[in-house]
Amino acid sequence: MPEQPDLDPNGNPVGRPVPGWSRRPEPERITLTGRYVTLEPLSSAHYAELFAATCAPEDDGLWTYLSTERPTSLPALWMLLAARLESDPATYAILPHEGERAGTPAGVFSLHAINTADGSVELGSVLFGPALRRTRAATEAVHLMQSYCLDELGYRRFEWKCHSLNEPSRRAAVRFGFTYEGRFRNAKVVKGRNRDTDWFSITAEEWPAIRDAHERWLDPANFDAQGRQVAALGRSDR
């Protein structure tokens, strides 16, 4: 049975108390390291490797749902990422520890919509190069940022938003433990076309169980000698 809400002195239902709540810290530009990946604050030192990892002609599909077309030159990517850092300083290069791009940037993502007063933050502008997609490093990269925001900084809400037609991103959100919350219709005009935006979130109350599921999946014992998973990550109720 759903929990009954509290009532204020006028008999109106109100939200549950949040004892001891205070404004959360801003995320810092720090390095986060796991078993399979390292997240480094993005800098110009990463740009050339990111161009090689994400901007080949055959990488056009990686950019379909992003706000810009694939940069066709290093200076174009340089300008794009420099502008990203102006608007979203908490942007991180993703360096896998294994595979063909081990030790070099193979993707990038940012923290958006940072609301320190209410403890809400979004992981967005996610770009995984081909060498990073569907790897342990990609999963751990998201996990490290979730843990940093929800465990270390004490945020109450961690968001994922994507184009409603971006089915790989929608599946990834569910796999990472996010709950679908709804669709914002006519949310944006991107590249001259309409974008409906799907919203997903993880709350602080949900996070411990999701964190445990991630850690079980990331355990080396969950992979065979070829690095293939034994048990899949995902929740059937999402």
Domain span holding position 166: 27-222
60 part of a folded domain? yes
Task: Tally helices (H) and strands (E) across the chain.
Answer: 5, 10
Question: What pLDDT is stored for residue 152 in this prediction?
Answer: 98
**What tens digit of pLDDT does each residue of 93-150 get?**
999 999 999 999 999 999 999 999 999 999 999 999 999 999 999 999 999 999 999 9
5 part of a folded domain? no
Contact status, residue 128 vs residue 81, Cβ threshold 8 Å: no
In this structure, what CATH number is given to the domain that contains residue 197? 3.40.630.30
Contact status, residue 126 vs residue 109, Cβ threshold 8 Å: yes
62 part of a folded domain? yes
Q: pLDDT category, 237, cuts 50, 70, 90?
A: very low
Tally of structural domains, the chain: 1
Question: What pLDDT is stored for residue 4 in this prediction?
Answer: 86
pTM of this prediction exceeds 0.85: yes
